[in-house]
Amino acid sequence: MTWSPDQELVTLTTGQETIIMMTKDFEPITEVAINQDDFGEDKFITVGWGKKETQFHGSEGKQAHRSALPNQPTTPRITWRGDGQFFAVSAVCPQTGARKVRIWNRECVLQATSEVVNGLEQLLCWKPSGSLIASTQRHPNKHSVVFMEKNGLLHGDFTLPFGKEQVKVKELLWNSDSTVLAVWMEDLKPRENDHPNTYIQLWTVGNYHWYLKQSLHFGNEALRAPVCVCWDPEKPLRLHLLTRGWASYTYDWGWSTQHSHGNDCHDNANVAVIDGDKILVTTFRQCVIPPPMCAFELQLPVPVNLVTFHSQAQRTNELAALTADGHIYVYGQGESYNLKLDSNIICSLCVCRVAIDQEEPLTLRLLLWLSEDLFLAVAHGRHLTRLLKLTPSDSQDPKDTLEIRYCQLSLTEWKDSTGNIINFPRPCVQTALCTLSGEEHLIGLTERSHLYIGDSLVASNISSFVVYDDFLLLTTHSHMCHCLNLSLQSALSSDANQNDETVRKVERGSRIVSVVPQDTRLILQMPRGNLETIHHRALVLAQLRKWLDRLRFKDAFESMRKLRINLNLIYDHNPTVFLDNIEMFLKQIDSINCINLFLTELKEEDTTTTMYPCPSCSASSSASGKGGKKVDIICDALRSTMETLDPQKYCLCILTSHVRKTTPELEIALQKVHELRGESLNSVSAEEALKYLLFLVNVNELYEHSLGTYDFDLVLMVAEKSQKDPKEYLPFLNMLKTLEPNYQRYTIDKHLKRYRKALHHLSNSGEEHFTELLSLVKDQRLYSDALELYPSDSEQYKTLSVAYAEHLVEQQQAEQAGLLLWRCGENARALQAFISCTSWRNTLAVATHIPLPPEQLALLARDLAGRDLCHDCEEAISALIQGAAWEEALRLVSLFFHLSPPLPVIAIRFNGFIIIILDYLIGIAVFFLNCIKILVISGN
């Protein structure tokens, strides 16, 4: 008889091979026969390619599938699916003797029938999630737990760690969340006058591999044998059992990842996985191997229940295993003990038996390896829970080397800096110690995903966490991974910004496995069991800053290159330190390609304030380098050091340093390439260097700059490496070769639009090209440059000055044009220029210098006076007063009003003038008094 999960229906099997379904009030609903010839409603559709009867059935023939196992109960077994919609019945057919599993729905309608499975046993347990039905099968050479799908087909199995005729399985039990399968067994053939041994094993699955995680051995004492075993319906990892001696036990388990706890580079980031009598060890520093594979296995004689790593520095790669029979196996690295093995291989060091009377399985638990000869554990008895200290005993027996000492232990309540006792509000399945804002705090995670720091609830959706260095790494049920800097006051005060570098998305259900110390790798495990390595940006940047502070440029460079971090950070993190250690940087990198990559990524942006701001530093706290442009400073510093170390080795890097400057020095780079043609001992040929330059610079731009060197051999060398058609450049080059050198260079510079250089070369080409020079000066407005090329008493200077004056007149700068004409002796044209701009002083000076007749000079002066005041004397006086030109204002008043003294008349006709003057004087006085006060204060 079996009740449905919702307790609404009850199913019974009868001796007449029928199933009776009743309500919870035991009112019959239906009755059907168990053994039916029909497959069920979910019958498969086949195309008739072969029949079961014609297939090969092994050496035992077809009858092997039709016989039931001897000494096995023939009564049916019923199991319900977790949602109560289906139930399965395992029964033996009375005609054939074969056992089959049939699946029925809630209305007692047959859905599917399993195929005949040789050696299938009576046990049956449907996984609450509904995906699989568990049963057991006895093979000729092994004993297995097998799984079926709802359609009756087999789907996976695992082998029990016993001989084929050693044990019988009494019960299969799934826990409430379908993550653990408990197998309850006892010896099949106990010794004479002895009771059978009883075992309970807990199995879990990951990546389609079944792991034996816990083994409970109850021995052969009759009173210790369990008579009832069941899982708690609310707490998935709580197991209840009742023994024949009327003792009740409750076991609570929790998920934990056993990993080494070192924080230095010697720690291999070991993670140990229990798999029955094997420990699967993976060293994540060397490799990331998805389970169930591993780096290596440790084989033990009995199943393992607990693994712990050494907590002492430099020895964190050593581990100890507590087995089901109460022994502790200690393992260490082979290299430490002069073994000819790889340093990552672990070998057995010793075996210790704990001298404790185990009243029940798992008496000893929570084992910690504190020092070389000291273990700490917790033991639970019938009356109290004890904290045990395990130390070497005086016994000479190597199998009995640990004894318990109670008197040396004392429990002390942990208090914070204020004297308050640290208590978690709820029991936590995972704890860790961290330093937050300079104070030690205890972090705890409950089974309901609540994260506490002390007694404060920090978050309620945390799936896993780990404390590494100054960081708290968290994964949440919203599929995010947070990397919080514990050294910051605001690290846990509020949720991080979704665009912040401290947050990144991860795959659904990801949990943290381990962090590789002194590295950037964070290992995550997915729900199905496979692993994923991520490099959290906050963790990466923190590690990069540490490497750069320790001048480990190679480690930082390789990580930045692999993770696509901008290489400018190498300089921006601390420019002064970088410039002082450029030689060390070059020797550590020791790669031409890497140095070139660094140079090509340089840009003027400060990445410590834009792309990668340091959370613990202000924006202005980054060190600054020398004054000037950043790219030019780095290029010049690197080039200088490379030329000192080995200019031949760093030839390509030197070329890159010229090209990558803010103003590319392509001519210098091309000249260095040209110099390589005459040297045969260089590590880089001229052709290779030129080919590399063509990779950095556009071929047309490089061709133009090669022309600017006036070296036709170099021009041909560049042109040949380019994809230019010879018909495009050979005629032009041949024409240039026929020209006089200075005119040739003028032609090249004009072609390259380097007009100042072209002007210089054209001035040296002879007087016959002066007309062309004058045309170039007018077209490109190079008047000042042209005047510097000729003496002031030459005809060319005079011609250029006249042309310049004409240009100034067009630009409304007549006074400057007049001065220029006056200087070169063109007095008449200078006079016209001064008159046009009403520069009366210069006009009268030039007119006197010509000289003009007195009548014309007087007429010119009166005309200039009218122009000077624009025939509006009042506006002129007002403007002069506002400009504080007092003498000129009084001169105009005396000239046009003929007053003596003139001030009263001004006050009558121009009342506003007095106000303007007074305001101006008051402002000057206030400013003067303020200056005096400042001087007095600074003097004191």
HSE-CB at 670 with a 13 A cutoff on CA atoms is 26
Lowest mean per-residue pLDDT among 4-13, 810-819, 864-873: 864-873
Angle 520-553-573 from CA coordinates, rounded to 5°:
80
- Reported as a single tens digit per residue, the pLDDT across 172-227 is 999 999 999 999 999 988 777 678 889 999 999 999 999 999 999 998 888 889 99
340 has pLDDT over 50: no
89 within 8 A of 125, measured Cβ to Cβ = no
Q: How far apart are CA 657 and CA 655, in angstroms?
A: 5
352 within 8 A of 327, measured Cβ to Cβ = yes
Mapped onto helix, strand or coil, the DSSP state of residue 533 is strand
For the chain, the domains span 2-44+62-252, 264-405, 795-869, 873-923
Question: What is the residue-wise DSSP string for 866-886?
Answer: HHHHTT-HHHHHHHHHHTT-H
686 pLDDT tier (thresholds 50, 70, 90): confident
Helix (H) or strand (E) holding 206: strand 198-206
At 769 the pLDDT is 84
Average pLDDT over residues 402-430: 70
Q: How far apart are CA 387 and CA 379, in angstroms?
A: 6
663 has pLDDT over 80: yes
528 pLDDT tier (thresholds 50, 70, 90): confident
Its CATH architecture, for the domain 264-405, is: 7 Propeller (2.130)
Burial 788-813 (b: 16+ CB within 10 A, else e): ebbeeeeebbbbbbbebbbbbbeeeb
- Reported as a single tens digit per residue, the pLDDT across 606-654 is 999 989 988 766 444 444 555 578 999 999 999 999 999 998 899 999 9
Bridge-based pairing state of the strands 133-138 and 439-445: unpaired
Q: How far apart are CA 68 and CA 253, in angstroms?
A: 38
110 has pLDDT over 80: yes
Q: How far apart are CA 815 and CA 813, in angstroms?
A: 6
At 434 the pLDDT is 86
601 pLDDT tier (thresholds 50, 70, 90): very high
398 has pLDDT over 50: no
DSSP lists the bridge partners of residue 310 as 369
Q: How far apart are CA 639 and CA 650, in angstroms?
A: 9
Q: How far apart are CA 683 and CA 692, in angstroms?
A: 14
Q: How far apart are CA 789 and CA 78, in angstroms?
A: 112
Main-chain phi, psi angles of 37, to 5 degrees: -75, -25
Q: For the domain 2-44+62-252, what is the CATH superfamily, name and number?
A: YVTN repeat-like/Quinoprotein amine dehydrogenase (2.130.10.10)
Tokens 């949440």: give the residue. Answer: 476
At 562 the pLDDT is 94
Mapped onto helix, strand or coil, the DSSP state of residue 829 is helix
Q: How far apart are CA 184 and CA 170, in angstroms?
A: 5
Lowest mean per-residue pLDDT among 326-330, 412-416, 478-482: 412-416
Q: For the CA atoms of the chain, what is the radius of gyration?
A: 48
763 within 8 A of 772, measured Cβ to Cβ = no
Q: How far apart are CA 509 and CA 529, in angstroms?
A: 10
Average pLDDT over residues 535-544: 92
Question: What is the residue-wise DSSP string for 766-819?
Answer: -GGGHHHHHHHHHHHT-HHHHHTTS-TTSHHHHHHHHHHHHHHHHTT-HHHHHH
At 489 the pLDDT is 60
Nearest residue to 378 (alpha-carbon basis) of 390, 392, 367, 393:
367
Q: pTM to 2 decimals?
A: 0.75
At 672 the pLDDT is 87
Question: What is the residue-wise DSSP string for 378-445?
Answer: EEE-SS-EEEEEEEE-S---TTS-EEEE-TT------B-TTSPBP--SS--SEEEEEEETTEEEEEEE
439 has pLDDT over 90: no
Helix (H) or strand (E) holding 896: helix 886-897
579 has pLDDT over 60: yes
Express as a percent the part of the chain with pLDDT over 90: 37
Question: What is the residue-wise DSSP string for 270-321?
Answer: EEEEEETTEEEEEETTT----TT--SEEEE-SS-EEEEEEB-STT-TT-EEE
Lowest mean per-residue pLDDT among 69-83, 173-187, 356-370, 654-668: 356-370
At 572 the pLDDT is 94
Q: How far apart are CA 549 and CA 819, in angstroms?
A: 64
- Reported as a single tens digit per residue, the pLDDT across 690-724 is 888 888 888 888 888 888 778 777 888 888 777 77
Average pLDDT over residues 519-531: 91
DSSP code of residue 844: H
Mapped onto helix, strand or coil, the DSSP state of residue 201 is strand
Q: How far apart are CA 661 and CA 633, in angstroms?
A: 9
903 has pLDDT over 70: no
- Reported as a single tens digit per residue, the pLDDT across 246-301 is 889 999 998 899 999 888 888 999 999 999 999 999 999 999 998 999 999 999 99
153 has pLDDT over 70: yes
| 827-836 vs 840-849: helix crossing angle, rounded to 10 | 160
369 within 8 A of 309, measured Cβ to Cβ = yes
Distance of CA 856 to the CA centre of its chain: 88
Main-chain phi, psi angles of 505, to 5 degrees: -80, 150
At 847 the pLDDT is 67
502 has pLDDT over 50: yes
Domains 2-44+62-252 and 264-405 share a fold: yes
Q: Which two tokens stand for residue 705?
A: 């700059």
470 within 8 A of 442, measured Cβ to Cβ = no
Q: Which two tokens stand for residue 265?
A: 């580079």
- Reported as a single tens digit per residue, the pLDDT across 845-860 is 666 667 777 776 666 6
Q: How far apart are CA 62 and CA 52, in angstroms?
A: 10
828 has pLDDT over 80: no
Mapped onto helix, strand or coil, the DSSP state of residue 601 is coil
790 within 8 A of 763, measured Cβ to Cβ = yes
173 burial via Cβ count (<10 Å: 0-12, 13-18, 19+): middle
Between 407 and 156, where is the model more confident? 156
Average pLDDT over residues 720-732: 77
Nearest residue to 89 (alpha-carbon basis) of 120, 57, 60, 50:
120
At 48 the pLDDT is 54
- What does the mean pLDDT of the chain come to? 82
Average pLDDT over residues 883-912: 59
807 has pLDDT over 90: no
At 377 the pLDDT is 81
Q: Where are the alpha helices (DSSP H) in 439-563?
A: 537-549, 553-563
Q: How far apart are CA 511 and CA 523, in angstroms?
A: 9
Omega before 292 cis (within 30°)? yes
